[in-house]
Chain A
């Protein structure tokens, strides 16, 4: 991840990158470019992964046994490496999501109170 860029998205990315990737391959296997595109689209361009940070992260997750990458050859296409969630990755994702929701919930409550106080 780019340390030089200090958009608010940077800090988010750091803590949530793994979660984002795991959740993107939860429903079906995807290749690296697809993953980066989805992140960019769904965050409306707020979050972007460059090649130099995406692939090391994918390999790390694969090495931890959370993802499994496999070269797939489709007719009249270049072969591509598809990553799917392993059972272990699925467990990790579930627990990370739970933690994330609790965190967001907690943040929401705090920020709601602040907003209310300010409004009062």
Chain B
């Protein structure tokens, strides 16, 4: 019986069909020919004749192939992953991905570890990038935000200071570079009338404030120039959030009135609830020009306020700066008494908001990049180990005709797939992680509310995943392609090659090096924070609490009434169990608020203008202030209850004041003239210096001299400032927050219209003063800990693998008389060698890199030997510990068993 199939297969060969399909067609056609042949035989033909006739069925040499070609095209091609190069590229990728999925599913433990490792690396970088993106990269949420500029006055000692209202009006009028400049002043109000009395936050703003920012009202109108004048009818614009909260977003609110501080304001507009300014929304906005306080309209008095301007199109910041400096010079010559030495500072609004976090974030970005690289190195190692196990598979494929490039592409597909899965999981980690960190540490970051996983972040994650996949996939892929085919096949799949072990060792060393850099960075930050906590702030923050107390609106209250009310308040506080000391205060509060006062010393000529006078920070204080703040009296006495409105004015200065202005003298009994208060005061005591500007910043500040001024001796003209709001400091026996309930009840008893707000323990005030640094430390520590874990896993994995590979060798050694100790030494030594190499490289890299964070360090140098040696020792220890388990396994190798493997 003739064999039909070889002939059919020969004719099908040009089609390069998939083997299964080819066999199927050959079988079917062969049946056909066989049927025909048998039929011819049975009808009496000779075998020869039957064969010839049957073969005619196949007709021309290429006819079968030609007929099948259009039908079989693209349908049953040989699988590309197993075949030679060429073919349909996209189809090949799809096939690669399917194959990669199958390979991963086959080793779920490997896949899980790799994906988790990558998810940590990619998740951390995504989280941090989303922060960098939200804080540094994204424009502020205003139209043409890049043209928004924060404007400040500049006075000796202050780079950024508010300017007097008349000066603002002149700046606004004379500028050529700004299309508008607006002024805002923080002003909170007692909101009464509809329901419960409430302290509402507000801004007094110049008329074009919202126009400058490019904000449109959702209801009604914005302020007009004629609203923004003394004597105009009181009008108010509501914040969107307040409108929703208190008025249920009622659309017919325009024209209705609300009561603020006892005055009726007509509502003219509502702004969107999404509006944020320096991270905050406000409940109410009122026109600042209506403020009729004479000192507000006095060029010599500066109220705390801020300015924001919108540059005209095409004007640069430096052009605007020159413009504003010119205006300031003109004002200085026109009003020398008030404006001499006053200059202008311009900062882009974004920079003003983001401020000092940029260096922190950049260091963290570098750190997280290292973490990602460590994760990549780890996965590369895993893949490398795995590819050695698979070298037989690759060899067989290549023997069957697959090209090196084709196999490499398959490997890269697998690693990119891993990275993709890791990236997806990492995105989840990033989402939760960012939310958790920003949630637990509010206020550490400006623009935190703008941090989100936007398209740019997603693109970042995608690119990082792709990059990571190619990065960690490349080494194993390249390595694999250099494998000697025959050797691998001959070896029977034991895999080998010292070169690859070396590569693994290098990966581990690099991991250790990067982990060391991160650990050093975290270590330096921890030491900085520890050093900061050790700094004596000049007061005792523990068990101290401070808050603001708003008194019912009483512009008509006399000074005597205000004093009486405050004394009554003091008495009530003293009666609360647990309260040890209390003082009403105004002016400066450490790390919370700064106020300064110009002065000249008695016996010296009075300077011609305010700017030529000395400046000192002042704290309005009662007798309880010393104990409530926990400041130390060094000489003389502190303020007593007898330093009241009826007695001569006294002050207590700090030791910096004493050293600066009365060197080598006893300042007690000396007198100074306070220009703003318009009084002469006698120095009666000297106290320790308070770190007013923060624990780390104080020594660099120009304004260090401080004095305490008796609250009750505040001059009549300034007493109205205390009439509607004062600050309070309390010292308690136990937890200061625990007494706040009693404090609120006591305040309510005095007058239900009084409101307590902005409660903050002094400990919080201190730690908030380095919140960004603390956040940076926490994140760096987390990254460093993750890096340590990943590096450990890396070392463990490689040593485990090597021990597994060298079981035979170890068996031979033991058989030849090696002691268990020698084996332990062999394995641990190998791990220690890799770790030591990593530590050495890492230390060198850290020496260079920690310089980047020098500005964030405090009380420790960037090359702190203790941190470096400590971290290096820790890493070595951990590395050796990670080798210990595989080493024990190696020690237990039974030579008989190991050798039997052959």
A: residues with CB less than 8 A from B are: 2, 31-33, 36, 50-57, 59-60, 63, 78, 80-81
Task: Report 17 cross-chain contacts, Cβ distance below 8 Å, ordered by A residue.
Answer: A2-B59, A31-B31, A36-B32, A50-B56, A50-B58, A51-B57, A51-B58, A51-B59, A52-B59, A52-B60, A52-B67, A53-B67, A55-B32, A55-B67, A56-B71, A60-B70, A63-B71
- A-side contacts of B29, CB under 8 Å: 51, 55
Q: Is the CB of B64 within 8 A of A52?
A: yes
Compute how far the CA of A99 lies from the CA of B32 in the bound complex, rounded to whole angstroms: 32
A51-B58, A51-B59, A78-B31 provided; 6 other pairs, C-beta below 8 A? Answer: A32-B32, A51-B33, A52-B60, A52-B63, A59-B71, A60-B70
Q: Is the CB of A59 within 8 A of B68?
A: yes
Q: Is the CB of B31 within 8 A of A33?
A: yes
Chain A interface, >50% SS class: helix
Compute how far the CA of A2 lies from the CA of B29 in the bound complex, rounded to whole angstroms: 18
Q: Is the CB of B36 within 8 A of A56?
A: no
Closest CB in chain B relative to A63 CB, distance in Å: 6
Closest CB in chain B relative to A114 CB, distance in Å: 37
Compute how far the CA of A2 lies from the CA of B58 in the bound complex, rounded to whole angstroms: 11
Closest CB in chain B relative to A21 CB, distance in Å: 14
Q: Is the CB of B68 within 8 A of A56?
A: yes
Compute how far the CA of A25 lies from the CA of B59 in the bound complex, rounded to whole angstroms: 25
Q: CB-CB contacts of B830-871 with A at 8 A, as 1s and 0s?
A: 000000000000000000000000000000000000000000
> Is B602 close to A, CB under 8 A?
no
Given contacts A56-B67, A56-B71, contact A51 B32 (CB under 8 A): yes
Compute how far the CA of A81 lies from the CA of B32 in the bound complex, rounded to whole angstroms: 10
Chain B interface residue bracket vs A: 20 to 34
- A-side contacts of B31, CB under 8 Å: 31-33, 78, 80-81
- A-side contacts of B113, CB under 8 Å: none
Compute how far the CA of A36 lies from the CA of B71 in the bound complex, rounded to whole angstroms: 20
- B-side contacts of A55, CB under 8 Å: 25, 28-29, 32, 64, 67-68
- A-side contacts of B35, CB under 8 Å: 33
Q: Which residues of chain B in 357-388 are interfacial with respect to chain A, using CB atoms and an 8 Å cutoff?
A: none
> Is B75 close to A, CB under 8 A?
yes
Compute how far the CA of A54 lies from the CA of B58 in the bound complex, rounded to whole angstroms: 11
> Is B72 close to A, CB under 8 A?
yes
B: residues with CB less than 8 A from A are: 25, 28-29, 31-33, 35-36, 56-60, 63-64, 67-68, 70-72, 75
Closest residue of chain B to A32, judged by CB? B32
Closest residue of chain B to A48, judged by CB? B57
Q: Is the CB of B72 within 8 A of A33?
A: no
- B-side contacts of A32, CB under 8 Å: 28, 31-32
- B-side contacts of A2, CB under 8 Å: 59
Q: Sort A-B residue pairs by CB-CB distance and give the 8 closest, nearest first.
A: A56-B67, A52-B63, A33-B35, A51-B57, A52-B64, A59-B71, A60-B71, A52-B59
Closest residue of chain B to A57, judged by CB? B67
Closest CB in chain B relative to A113 CB, distance in Å: 40
Closest residue of chain A to B25, judged by CB? A55
Compute how far the CA of A92 lies from the CA of B72 in the bound complex, rounded to whole angstroms: 22
Q: Is the CB of A81 within 8 A of B75?
A: no
- B-side contacts of A50, CB under 8 Å: 56-59
* Residue from the list A33, A52, A53, A57 in contact with B36, Cβ < 8 A: A33
Compute how far the CA of A51 lies from the CA of B31 in the bound complex, rounded to whole angstroms: 11
Compute how far the CA of A81 lies from the CA of B30 in the bound complex, rounded to whole angstroms: 12
Most A-side CB within 10 Å, residue of B29, B35, B75: B35
- A-side contacts of B28, CB under 8 Å: 32, 55, 81
Closest CB in chain A relative to B7 CB, distance in Å: 11
- A-side contacts of B64, CB under 8 Å: 51-52, 55-56
- A-side contacts of B33, CB under 8 Å: 51
* Residue from the list A31, A52, A59, A63 in contact with B57, Cβ < 8 A: A52
Q: Is the CB of A52 within 8 A of B71?
A: no
Compute how far the CA of A57 lies from the CA of B60 in the bound complex, rounded to whole angstroms: 17
Closest residue of chain A to B21, judged by CB? A59
- B-side contacts of A78, CB under 8 Å: 31
Closest residue of chain B to A81, judged by CB? B28
Compute how far the CA of A98 lies from the CA of B53 in the bound complex, rounded to whole angstroms: 37
Compute how far the CA of A33 lies from the CA of B59 in the bound complex, rounded to whole angstroms: 16
Closest residue of chain B to A5, judged by CB? B59
Compute how far the CA of A40 lies from the CA of B71 in the bound complex, rounded to whole angstroms: 24
Compute how far the CA of A2 lies from the CA of B72 in the bound complex, rounded to whole angstroms: 20
Closest CB in chain A relative to B4 CB, distance in Å: 10
* Residue from the list B58, B70, B75 in contact with A52, Cβ < 8 A: B58
Compute how far the CA of A55 lies from the CA of B12 in the bound complex, rounded to whole angstroms: 13
Closest residue of chain A to B33, judged by CB? A51
Closest CB in chain A relative to B772 CB, distance in Å: 67
Compute how far the CA of A60 lies from the CA of B71 in the bound complex, rounded to whole angstroms: 6
* Residue from the list B59, B60, B63, B72 in contact with A59, Cβ < 8 A: B72
Closest CB in chain B relative to A65 CB, distance in Å: 13
* Residue from the list A31, A51, A63 in contact with B75, Cβ < 8 A: A63
Given contacts A51-B57, A52-B58, contact A33 B32 (CB under 8 A): yes
- A-side contacts of B60, CB under 8 Å: 52
- A-side contacts of B58, CB under 8 Å: 50-52
Compute how far the CA of A63 lies from the CA of B71 in the bound complex, rounded to whole angstroms: 8
- A-side contacts of B70, CB under 8 Å: 56, 60
Compute how far the CA of A22 lies from the CA of B25 in the bound complex, rounded to whole angstroms: 20
Closest CB in chain A relative to B542 CB, distance in Å: 82
Closest residue of chain A to B76, judged by CB? A59
Closest residue of chain A to B68, judged by CB? A56
Compute how far the CA of A60 lies from the CA of B63 in the bound complex, rounded to whole angstroms: 16
Most A-side CB within 10 Å, residue of B25, B28, B29, B63: B28
- B-side contacts of A59, CB under 8 Å: 68, 71-72
Closest residue of chain B to A54, judged by CB? B32
